Homo-oligomer: A and B are copies of this chain.
Amino acid sequence: MKYELYYWPSIQGRGEYVRLALEEAGADYADVARGARGTAAMMKLMQQRGTPPFAPPFLKAGKLVIGQTANILLYLGSRHGLAPKTEAGRLWVHQLQLTITDLVLEVHDTHHPLGSSLYYEDQRAAARKRTDEFWDQRVPKYLGYFEGLLKDNGSAVTGRRITYVDLSLFQIVEGLRYAFPNRMKAFERKIPRVVELRDRVAARPNIRAYLASDRRIAFNEDGIFRHYRELDK
């Protein structure tokens, strides 16, 4: 089956966690909105009667249309060896992905604390405060948690085998390095195992090939991770 991924064509955003899983799995998929059908096909699916997705990304798998990033990964995980097959294992990996979901939203709020419909330029002072709090409180809490899991469990977050959570954690490190190079550089010594995991994920053949391809969109200031020099230190 060929999957169809629907997401904004010019950003990594939330779609990237799905792309990484599809690429690692070697799955056959089309990134529909980046192709000839463009975002019009995406918008059309969002207006389907009865079961419209609230927002991109969503994945079409045969007749199924699955929305919400973590939900898509829940679906893909056990089918492609990126999550355990047991119910307990699937729930545990999904729980961790939902924690990553929360973190991603907090990353977004560093540059849009007053609301996503307002321009960044109209909320710069608030963004500075929110970003300070994010680095003082939230990054240590989230990344410290994953560092602790790696300490307890081994080379991947849930044990020895890579899951979609490990791929997502790779993306978190990449994103924080892009958006906050100075802050992240100073912080990384506190999370050596997370950084090692990032390196192991980056070295996996399918991921390496993906990152070198034009399927990987570059970070930019329309995505979740944005580099504004005044928010870095």
Which residue on chain B has the smallest CB distance to residue A154? B50
- Interface membership of A88, Cβ < 8 A: yes
Of the candidate stretches A127-135, A171-179, A205-213, A215-223, the one touching chain B is: A127-135
Number of chain A residues whose Cβ lies closer than 8 Å to a Cβ of chain B = 47
Which residue on chain B has the smallest CB distance to residue A141? B54
- Interface membership of A71, Cβ < 8 A: yes
Give min CB distance, A78 to chain B, whole Å. Answer: 11
Which residue on chain B has the smallest CB distance to residue A96? B54
Q: Of B71, B101, B105, B126, which one neighbours A91 at CB under 8 angstroms?
A: B71
Which residue on chain B has the smallest CB distance to residue A159? B50
Q: Which residues of B contact A134 (CB under 8 A)?
A: 115
Q: Of B91, B118, B137, which one neighbours A115 at CB under 8 angstroms?
A: B137
Q: Of B67, B113, B136, which one neighbours A113 at CB under 8 angstroms?
A: B113
Contact A133 B114 (CB under 8 A): yes
B-binding residues in A (CB < 8 A): 49-54, 64, 66-68, 70-71, 74-75, 88, 91-92, 94-96, 98-99, 101-102, 105, 109, 113-118, 123, 126, 129-130, 133-134, 136-138, 142, 145, 148-149, 152-153
Complex A-B: 7 CB contacts under 8 Å = A50-B152, A74-B94, A98-B101, A101-B101, A105-B105, A115-B129, A115-B137
Given contacts A52-B149, A68-B98, A114-B129, 14 further A-B contacts (CB under 8 A): A50-B152, A53-B95, A64-B88, A66-B91, A70-B98, A105-B105, A113-B113, A113-B114, A113-B130, A115-B133, A115-B134, A115-B137, A117-B137, A118-B133
